[in-house]
Amino acid sequence: MNKKSILVTGGAGFIGSHLVRHFVKKYQDKYYIINLDKLTYAGNLENLKDIENYDNYKFIKGDIKDIELVNTIFEKYNIHSVIHLAAESHVDRSIENPLEFVTTNIIGTLTLLNAAKKHWKNDDDNVFYHVSTDEVYGSLGETGKFLETTSYDPRSPYSASKASSDHFVRAYSHTFGLNTMISNCSNNYGPYQFPEKLIPLIINNIVNNKTLPVYGDGKNIRDWLYVEDHVKAIDQILHKGKYNETYNIGGDNEWMNIEIVHKLCDTVDEKLGRSPGTSRKLITFVKDRPGHDRRYAIDSAKLKSEIGWLPETDFATGLEKTVDWYLNSQDWLENVTSGEYLNYYKKQYEQ
């Protein structure tokens, strides 16, 4: 059978590596997966070691902003669809250095859209799928949830750049007739997440007896989804969703940050045989993130009713799997934190 080529961008990152693994293994006879990734501090080929020799998989190191490279990939591999994840993804870094977020997240997306527009002619089933975030909708009060129809109100340089890239994707479908899909997902957690994000950072610091920085009063709320459930949602939307539509993806799983930190302290203490309460003493309330969004909550009723997706991993199970993975992946942690990340965080937290 002739395999269709799918270009996945950012496949060496956290969500991208789970997505690449899922697609390469599940669709061995159907899709040839090409993973284009620049390997920034957040991208790591160790995340994909187990599938690197599959014959329906190819890795290409490169930048999504590289017009020539992107066009060559479209031509050489006859790209049928794109699942676009490559991005600068960390809100704190976007506050430090917004320009990098504009170039990668906006201009990078535009570069891919232009290539798709150029190469896809008269073929009804090419799709440009943009993996986006719930942060484009802004911040909620104590009640309510984000719907697909909620107005965009991004508040950080990161979310402004993702909102802009969403707008460009919609503009290309409206103006040029490109088949597109967008999904806006809540906070993901699970193995291979770079340890600058809340959950892996806290686990890593607990293990190393370092302070646990909680921003502001710790009562900001996020809706957490196990990364593999996100990947399954993307798979189902790609295959069953409608062109030029948006789907919200969430876990119906809201927690205050401080509650998560408490859970992690207690779980890791138990697993490491430390006496109860040991790690909670490491919690330090630090200066709040500028413009810190208070609450995110996703209404994924559309995805559930139209596509039939449901999250499969409950939070207790997902969190335990995640803690176990980090406790057993000290080499990976050392490897990914030995470079630029440490310099960045030295500036943030270490005196």
Q: Which entry of ligand NAD, ligand TDX, none binds 222, CB below 5 to 8 A by partner kind?
A: ligand TDX
104 binds ligand NAD (CB under 6 A): yes
- For ligand NAD, the binding residue among 110, 131, 233, 303 (CB under 6 A) is 131
Smallest gap from residue 196 Cβ to ligand TDX (A): 6
Structure tokens at 237: 């939307």
87 binds ligand NAD (CB under 6 A): yes
202 binds ligand NAD (CB under 6 A): no
Binding mask 38-67 for ligand NAD (x = CB under 6 A): xxx-xx-------------------xxx--
Q: Which entry of ligand TDX, ligand NAD, none binds 64, CB below 5 to 8 A by partner kind?
A: ligand NAD
Active site residue 92: no
Strands 221-226 and 254-256: antiparallel
Q: Which entry of ligand NAD, ligand TDX, none binds 215, CB below 5 to 8 A by partner kind?
A: ligand TDX
Phi, psi (deg, nearest 5) at residue 200:
-65, -30
Query: Which residue's CB is nearer to ligand TDX, number 165 or number 220?
Result: 220
- Is 43 within 8 Å of 15 (Cβ atoms)? no
Query: Which residue's CB is nearer to ligand NAD, number 5 or number 104?
Result: 104
Neighbours of 93 (CB within 10 A): 18
- Is 11 within 8 Å of 22 (Cβ atoms)? no
Query: Which residue's CB is nearer to ligand TDX, number 176 or number 342?
Result: 342
Question: Which uninterrupted H or E stretch holds 266?
Answer: helix 257-272
137 binds ligand NAD (CB under 6 A): no
Q: Which residues bind ligand TDX (CB under 6 A)?
A: 89-91, 133, 135, 187, 197-198, 201, 213-215, 220, 222, 257, 289
User: Of the residues 41, 129, 158, 172, which is catalytic?
Assistant: 158
Surface-to-core class of residue 229, CB atoms within 10 Å of its CB (0-12 exposed, 13-18 middle, 19+ buried) = buried
Instruction: Name the amino acid, one letter, at 250.
Output: G
Query: Which residue's CB is nearer to ligand NAD, number 104 or number 257?
Result: 104
DSSP state of 178: -
Stretch that binds ligand NAD, among 187-195, 210-218, 253-261, 263-271 (CB under 6 A): 187-195
| CA R_g for the chain | 20
Active site residue 158: yes
Q: For residues 129 and 136, what is the distance between their CA atoms, to the nearest angstrom?
A: 17
Smallest gap from residue 65 Cβ to ligand NAD (A): 6
Q: Which entry of ligand NAD, ligand TDX, none binds 214, CB below 5 to 8 A by partner kind?
A: ligand TDX
Residues 6+ apart with CB under 8 A from 210: 204, 282
User: Of the residues 63, 134, 196, 223, which is catalytic?
Assistant: 134
User: Of the residues 37, 88, 135, 166, which is catalytic?
Assistant: 135
First to last CA, the chain: 59
Q: Site size for ligand NAD, by CB under 6 A?
A: 31
Q: Which entry of ligand NAD, ligand TDX, none binds 85, CB below 5 to 8 A by partner kind?
A: ligand NAD
Neighbours of 273 (CB within 10 A): 6
Active site residue 341: no
Q: Which entry of ligand TDX, ligand NAD, none binds 257, CB below 5 to 8 A by partner kind?
A: ligand TDX
Question: Per-residue DSSP letters for 14-65?
Answer: HHHHHHHHHHHHHTTTTEEEEEEE---TT--GGGGGGGTT-TTEEEEE--TT
Query: Which residue's CB is nearer to ligand TDX, number 179 or number 318?
Result: 318
Residues 6+ apart with CB under 8 A from 232: 22, 309, 312
Q: Which residues are catalytic?
A: 134-135, 158
